């Protein structure tokens, strides 16, 4: 796929100097995209290949090695918007090898070490495709979570880490200790997140590692909480405090303490056992629920680990065996465009079928027009296909040497492939959209969403039945569902008296749903089930909401301008107004029937904006939040000029500082407890 390079040992000093600077520049750019922007432009193996070339050049010509070379740096710079954390013990990167022979050479170099006696006993672990995570506990309480950053300075992600279910908030023993591991996104969560982002016109994540990094480094912990992150812990820098002598025993102790520890480690002693382990998990890789990109080998004896120490960048006691890239070459025959529920028009490459990661693949999403043009994919091109995160088929590169002479740059469509309406780019989106609300493709997708469990919950009305109803012209929009008759349903395939009666009953029951289900079911952009409930709890009924201003909606805690403007834009459409009238005539409920948040008008907390920060001793933060909301307060996650009071517990950080800078009233937990007693 790339031109054959001259072997390093055949290069002159001047030839090496001419190659090394552009190579460093390219690797630095790729590293920033990967570590800092969570948006890599090349596959891991492309970076690894270039990095190994740089290592070889610097080893062959030591005079060309510089302190700012990517080979001398760990990870990337810490994100400026997050609080910095200094690692007392640096978090280093691992060295890589790409074959069994290279792995055996690494082991031999350890055993040839004159200063350290290394027994051939290793602990093998799966290399999780995530990002490094540090968890610090004091007296058994989680006090800090941080990313690796550049190895010395990382980012404080404590609030986000607390939303991850597999991270213990309290240990069963009063340990003051740091634990390290990997934060990752499971394959299913990765696929679901990318599908959601694609529907919303947002760029998709290239792989689970970048999805996990982008999720863990959010400024809003509520976003992190929705991303279904998980962890595997695997390292204790101060292992003596755990009373263990081997890496395998350290993993067992961490399991006992309640950490999530990957169960597939194995202690081995020979090349044969190492090869067997690698072969076993290379074969099982696709069946795992999380992504792995290799195998990690560690010296099992922890005293030997300490004696071996580290280089400036990597430990001498561990190495990563990286899986070779699994790719297949195929030919693009067609590019299809499909229209989603929100009007997002997505290109899909249709290719000659190939076997990839255990399945037959003939289609791959091209996500959006920008992606298609950046890759410059043309009909007839030979492309290399892999699975992002071992789950989603994706085109990595085009083989330009095999491009047909007749191939021309692909023209992006300007009209909807279904209804013919003009396609548009909305602000801040990479997606191409059809904004015709009566587009048949959008209506069919919208019907399935309307009937789904979290929306109107019409049991028995799935996509196949909706397609039949549409094809027979029995429905044209969601209001048409309430006009269906017994005789019409009997014309559907495999529909008898019982199935007809059941579906009619389910449709009829949905008329009585609380209105937040209807609002969510209408499929308004950016309005999820939670936002629909919050909005309808505030306004009480749909008619009141339809006459509200965007600013009024945006002012609701947890909503904001994006949702507010989207709701107002939706209801300003004349065709939507007609649809709402049809639903009203059909007897669909427009009133909120959920539980209202209790508010005491006489409470001094009523309508006060409160921020909780730091660690509370007498109660949990959630308990404090619940009490405040039950007494009419609006509890928010960030400090602003509109904040009335900040309640600061122990170890309060940047929110306390900002409150002090803005002159906002700050209470400690004792003052808050006293106010709670007085309120009673």
pLDDT of residue 277: 96
What percent of the chain has pLDDT above 70? 93
| Residue 209 three-state SS | helix
- Check pLDDT > 70 for residue 80: no
Residue ranges in 511-620 assigned as alpha helix (H): 515-521, 529-539, 542-546, 550-554, 561-571, 574-585
Q: What share of the chain has pLDDT > 90, as a percent?
A: 38
What pLDDT is stored for residue 77 in this prediction?
A: 47
Q: What is the dihedral of CA 616, 622, 628, 634, to 10 degrees?
A: 110
Q: How far is CA 61 from the centre of its chain?
A: 41
What's the average model confidence in pLDDT over 87-108?
Answer: 90
pLDDT of 292 over the 60 cut: yes
Domain 84-322: CATH superfamily, name plus number: DNA ligase/mRNA capping enzyme (3.30.470.30)
Angle at 62 between CA 56 and CA 68, to 5 degrees: 85
Q: How far is CA 304 from CA 68, 110, 273, 301, 404, in A?
A: 31, 10, 21, 5, 58
Helix (H, G, I), strand (E, B) or coil at 528: coil
79 confidence band (pLDDT: 50, 70, 90): very low
pLDDT band for 1, please (50, 70, 90 cuts): very low
Q: Terminus-to-terminus CA distance in the chain, angstroms? A: 73
Annotated catalytic sites, by residue?
127
The larger pLDDT score, comparing residue 594 to residue 314, is at: 314
- Does 354 score more than 50 pLDDT? yes
Q: Which CATH class is domain 440-585?
A: mainly alpha
Domain 609-679 = CATH 3.40.50.10190 = yes
What is the rounded average pLDDT of the residues 401-429?
88
Q: How many CA atoms lie within 13 A of 666 on its CB side?
A: 18
Say yes or no to pLDDT of 661 above 50.
yes
**Looking at per-residue confidence, does 9 or 88 come out higher?**
88
Three-state DSSP class for 251?
helix
> Given this model, what pLDDT does residue 78 score?
43
Q: Could you tell me the pTM of the whole model?
A: 0.55
Give me 236's structure tokens: 């204790």
Separation CA 230–CA 186 (nearest Å): 7
| Distance from C-alpha of 82 to C-alpha of 133, rounded to nearest angstrom | 15
Distances (CA, A) of 277 to 126, 266, 299, 515: 10, 8, 16, 55
Average pLDDT of 527-549? 90
Lowest mean pLDDT among 219-228, 283-292, 299-308: 219-228
Tokens of 115: 């200063």
Residues 115 and 185: beta-carbon distance below 8 Å? no
What is the per-residue DSSP string for 451-499? HSTTTT--TT--HHHHHHHHHTTS-SSGGGGGG--HHHHTTSTT--HHH
Both tokens assigned to 265:
């480690």
Q: Is the pLDDT of residue 83 over 70?
A: yes
Return the minimum-mean-pLDDT range out of 78-92, 455-469, 661-675: 78-92
The correct answer on CATH 2.40.50.140 for the domain covering 328-411 is: yes
Distance of alpha carbon 518 from alpha carbon 131, whole angstroms? 40
Binning pLDDT at 50, 70 and 90, where does residue 200 land?
Answer: confident
Pick the range with the lowest mean pLDDT from 42-51, 225-234, 603-612, 620-629: 42-51
Q: What is the mean pLDDT of residues 489-505?
A: 91
Q: Is the dihedral of CA 53, 57, 62, 64 positive or negative?
A: negative
Q: In terms of Cα–Cα distance, which of 53, 125, 103 is closest to 294?
A: 125
* Contact status, residue 159 vs residue 221, Cβ threshold 8 Å: yes
Average pLDDT taken over every residue of the chain = 85
CATH class of 8-72: mainly alpha
Residue 680 has pLDDT above 60, yes or no: no
Check residues 321 and 79 and name the one with the higher pLDDT.
321
Q: Tell me what the mean pLDDT of segment 324-344 comes to.
A: 88
**Comparison of pLDDT for 621 and 94, the residue scoring more:** 94
Q: Which of 43-57, 514-528, 634-648 has the lowest mean pLDDT?
A: 43-57
Domain parsing of the chain, residue ranges:
8-72, 84-322, 328-411, 440-585, 609-679
Q: Residue 232: which pLDDT band, with cuts at 50, 70 and 90? A: very high
pLDDT tens string 556-574: 877 888 899 989 988 998 8
* Residue 468: pLDDT band with limits 50, 70, 90: very high
Question: Do 421 and 415 contact (CB within 8 A), yes or no?
Answer: yes
Please tell me what DSSP assigns to residue 367.
-
Nearest partner of 335 among 360, 359, 369, judged by Cα? 369
Contact predicate 149/77, CB 8 Å: yes
Residue 182 has pLDDT above 60, yes or no: yes
Tell me the CA distances in angstroms from 533 to 169, 432, 516, 521, one per residue in order. 30, 29, 5, 12
Strand 634-636 versus strand 609-613 pairing type: parallel
Q: CB 486: neighbour CB atoms within 10 A?
A: 11
- Give tens-digit pLDDT for 594-608: 755 555 555 678 778
Do 416 and 339 form a contact (C-beta atoms < 8 A)?
Answer: yes
Token pair of 127 as six digits: 């290399």
Max mean pLDDT among 97-101, 287-291, 582-586 falls in 582-586
- For the ranges 59-73, 110-124, 608-622, the lowest mean pLDDT is seen at 59-73
Average pLDDT over residues 310-338: 88
């Amino acid at each position: 796929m790339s031109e054959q390079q001259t072997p390093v040992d055949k290069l002159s000093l001047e030839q090496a100097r001419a190659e090394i600077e552009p190579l460093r520049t390219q690797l630095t750019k790729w590293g920033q995209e990967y570590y800092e922007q969570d948006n890599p432009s090349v596959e891991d193996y492309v970076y690894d290949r270039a990095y190994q070339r740089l290592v070889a050049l610097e080893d062959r010509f030591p005079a060309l090695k510089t302190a700012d070379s990517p080979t001398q740096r760990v990870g990337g710079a810490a994100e400026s918007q997050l609080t910095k954390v200094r690692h007392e013990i640096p978090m280093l990167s691992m060295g890589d090898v790409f074959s069994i022979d290279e792995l055996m050479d690494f082991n031999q170099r350890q055993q040839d070490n004159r200063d350290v006696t290394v027994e051939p006993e290793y602990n093998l672990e799966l290399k999780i495709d995530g990002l490094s995570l540090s968890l610090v506990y004091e007296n058994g309480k989680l006090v800090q979570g941080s990313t690796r950053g550049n190895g010395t300075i990382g980012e404080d992600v404590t609030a986000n880490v607390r939303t991850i279910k597999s991270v213990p908030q309290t240990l069963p023993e009063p340990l003051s200790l740091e634990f390290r591991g990997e934060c990752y996104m499971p394959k299913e969560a990765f696929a679901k997140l990318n599908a959601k982002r694609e529907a919303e016109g947002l760029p998709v994540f290239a792989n689970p590692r970048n999805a996990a990094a982008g999720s863990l480094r959010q400024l809003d912990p509520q976003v992190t909480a929705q991303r279904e992150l998980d962890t595997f812990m695997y390292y204790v820098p101060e292992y003596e405090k755990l009373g263990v002598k081997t890496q395998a025993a350290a993993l067992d102790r961490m399991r006992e303490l309640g950490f999530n520890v990957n169960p597939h480690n194995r202690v081995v002693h020979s090349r044969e056992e190492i090869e067997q382990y690698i072969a076993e998990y290379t074969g099982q890789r696709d069946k795992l629920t999380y992504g792995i990109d290799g195998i990690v080998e560690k010296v099992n004896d922890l005293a030997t680990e300490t004696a071996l120490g580290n280089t400036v960048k990597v430990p001498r006691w561990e190495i990563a065996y990286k899986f070779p890239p699994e790719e297949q070459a195929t030919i693009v025959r067609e590019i299809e465009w499909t229209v989603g529920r929100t009007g997002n028009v997505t290109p899909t490459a249709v290719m000659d079928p190939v076997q990839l990661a255990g399945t037959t693949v003939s289609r791959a999403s091209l996500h959006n027009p920008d992606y298609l043009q950046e890759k410059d994919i043309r009909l007839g091109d030979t492309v290399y296909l892999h699975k992002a995160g071992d789950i989603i088929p994706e085109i990595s590169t085009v083989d330009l040497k095999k491009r047909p002479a007749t191939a021309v740059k692909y023209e992006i469509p300007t009209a909807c492939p279904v209804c013919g309406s003009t396609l548009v780019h909305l602000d801040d989106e990479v997606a191409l959209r059809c904004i015709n609300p009566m587009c048949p493709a959008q209506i069919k997708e919208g019907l399935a969403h309307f009937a789904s469990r979290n929306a109107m919950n019409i049991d028995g009305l799935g996509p196949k039945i909706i397609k039949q109803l549409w094809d027979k012209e029995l429905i044209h929009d969601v209001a048409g569902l309430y006009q269906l008759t017994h005789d019409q349903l009997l014309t559907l395939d495999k529909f008898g008296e019982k199935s007809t009666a059941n579906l009619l009953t389910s449709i009829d029951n949905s008329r009585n749903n609380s209105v937040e289900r209807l609002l969510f079911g209408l499929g308004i952009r950016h309005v999820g089930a939670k936002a629909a409930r919050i909005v309808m709890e505030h306004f009480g009924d749909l008619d009141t909401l339809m006459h509200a201003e965007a600013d009024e909606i945006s002012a609701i805690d947890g909503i904001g301008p994006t949702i507010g403007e989207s709701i107002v834009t939706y209801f300003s459409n004349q065709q939507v107004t007609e649809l709402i009238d049809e639903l009203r005539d059909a007897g669909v409920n427009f009133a909120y029937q959920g539980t209202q948040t209790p508010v005491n008008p006489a409470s001094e907390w009523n309508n006060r904006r409160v921020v909780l920060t730091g660690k509370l001793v007498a109660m949990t933060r959630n308990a404090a939040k619940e009490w405040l909301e039950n007494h009419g307060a609006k509890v928010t996650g960030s400090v602003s000029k509109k904040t009335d009071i900040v309640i600061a517990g122990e170890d309060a950080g940047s929110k306390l500082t900002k409150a002090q800078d803005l002159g906002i009233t700050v209470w400690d937990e004792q003052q808050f407890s006293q106010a709670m007693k007085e309120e009673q």
